[in-house]
Chains A and B, each alone.
Chain A
Amino acid sequence: MIPNRPAIAWRDIGVPLAVLLAALALWEALVRWKNIPPYILPAPSVILAKLIEDRELLFSSLLVTLGVTVEALIVATVCGVALALLIAQSKWLERALLPFAITLQVTPIIAIAPLLLVYLQPGNAVLVCAFLVAFFPILSNTSLGLASVDFGLRDLFDLYRASPWQKLIYLRLPSALPQFLAGLRIGGGLALIGAIVAELAAGASGQGTGLAYRIVEAGFRLDIPRMFAALALISLSGLAIYGALAALSYVLLRGWHESARAQDE
């Protein structure tokens, strides 16, 4: 259907991958040449060795962090879309509810985390933090999408006397889909940040099992290679979440965002 897709994929993945490998090689060479000790700057090979050596510990932590992030993102999606639909029903609800959502959004999550840790179990506090930061972009993008329906299409539905329910199902939800997916992509990245931030706050009090806690713990022990190893896993998690959501977006929107080629023989 899209003939030159593999070429695009190769260019999009190959170029940054080549640059990354070059940077890693330079890093490795620099560390070896200058004899930098691993407790100051570990070489990539040392980090990789650490990743393999500590795999059980690190991967179980990775699963914890990813689990919390995905869980928070799902809850944030359900709540964000539900609230967006509610707000779309009336201006009064929007006036009543939106200020609270905005206040939660503009208050830095790092400042809320300690308080949540007072009231909640550490695991739940981390989940709530991740939820709070992921929720707002999904809410605001979905709201925007639901509100920005084409005027002509709105007239068309009025002409055929569509019920509010029909308008929602056949017009407003599909219209909102691109914006919702954009919100979801932002929310996915933020959920990971929220989870990490909350865990750092929790980790300072000596509790936690996620990747951020491994960083804090390794920092206390001056195990710099393990800090880097955990950091690498966090970066990869972020990339994986972004990639998965971008792929979802592509699958859902390609029909009407990818253009004319299919039919223009």
Chain B
Amino acid sequence: MTLGASAVRETQVTAPALVALRAVGKTFPSGLVALADYDLDVREGEFLTLLGPSGCGKSTVLRLIAGLANPTAGAIDWNAPQVKNNIGVVFQDATLLPWASVFDNVFLPLRLKGVAREAASPRIEEALAHVGLLNFSRALPRELSGGMRMRCAIARALVTRPTLMMMDEPFAALDEVTRFKLNDDLLALKRRFGATIVFVTHSVFEAAYLSTRIVVMSRRAGSIIDEIEIDPAIPRDDDYRSSRTFADVCRRASRALRVSIEEATP
């Protein structure tokens, strides 16, 4: 497949792999094969998006990397073990403790690591300031809008300063305006913190806007259909959204997604 835009590169840029999945398989006790013989490198500093129809195993990949599930075959190799011990995860749902304030929710990861409240306080406030929730630190989750709840979840993931951030369709439930705003904020945060992000979505446009690399997965046990690189140097703004490159990426990703869906329905 060739593309006119030079910004979309076919050749793989080799940055060191932060984590590598080698021939990984995941079969659930029910016999359902979520992943089979799956290979993936997560490169340091990239914004990697896993794109695919629902049920293609993208969330499983994320759970395996986060250590929330174990592979039934293959291996997950870490470049540095300390990366593995400091992963930030943002789930599809904000998953906040409903009885705890925004402050206490962001405090949770540090509290579980045994950090005292006073010692943690500056870091919590910093994380809250980054997501624009500093004035809401005493509010309870129920008092926040969906977008604010998601910001709180992002602050919670950031508070441990993770090298690797995993995000499982974090903005799927939000309205488009909120989603665009959070997309921009997320990119700004990534620039500031320099973390590697693995992002799961089923939105072609979101993938094209955020990523430096898109991996399109098949519904059949997660095999990879296409891999699209996007030049990290391109500024992600409204101009990019209406650019030729963006359109090309979307077209190519949509085509791959269609193949992925057709493969699964004989």
Contacts and interface: CB of A to CB of B under 8 A. Distances in A.
Interface of A: 150, 152-153, 155-162, 166, 170-171, 174, 177, 255-256, 259-260, 262-264
Contact of B95 (A156, A262, A264): A156
A255 B112 contact: no
Contact of B68 (A155, A256, A259): A155
Contact of A155 (B91, B100, B111, B140): B91
Contacts of A160: 108-109, 112-113
A150 B140 CA distance: 17
B164 to A, nearest CB: 12
Interface of B: 63, 66-68, 87, 89, 91, 93, 95, 97-100, 108-109, 111-113, 136, 139-144
A155 B143 CA distance: 24
B144 A156 contact: no
Given A152-B93, A153-B95, A256-B98, A159 B68 contact: yes
Interface centre among B66, B95, B111 (most CB of A within 10 A): B95
Given A152-B91, A160-B108, A259 B142 contact: yes
Contacts of B136: 263
Contacts of B98: 256
Given A157-B112, A255-B140, A262-B143, A150 B95 contact: yes
Contacts of A171: 97
B159 to A, nearest CB: 11
B112 A153 contact: no
A177 B99 contact: yes
A176 to B, nearest CB: 11
A170 B68 contact: no
Interface centre among B63, B68, B97, B100 (most CB of A within 10 A): B97
Contact of B139 (A150, A157, A263): A263
Contacts of A166: 112
Nearest to A255: B140
A174 B99 contact: yes
A166 B107 CA distance: 14
A209 B48 CA distance: 76
Given A155-B68, A159-B66, A159-B87, A256 B141 contact: yes
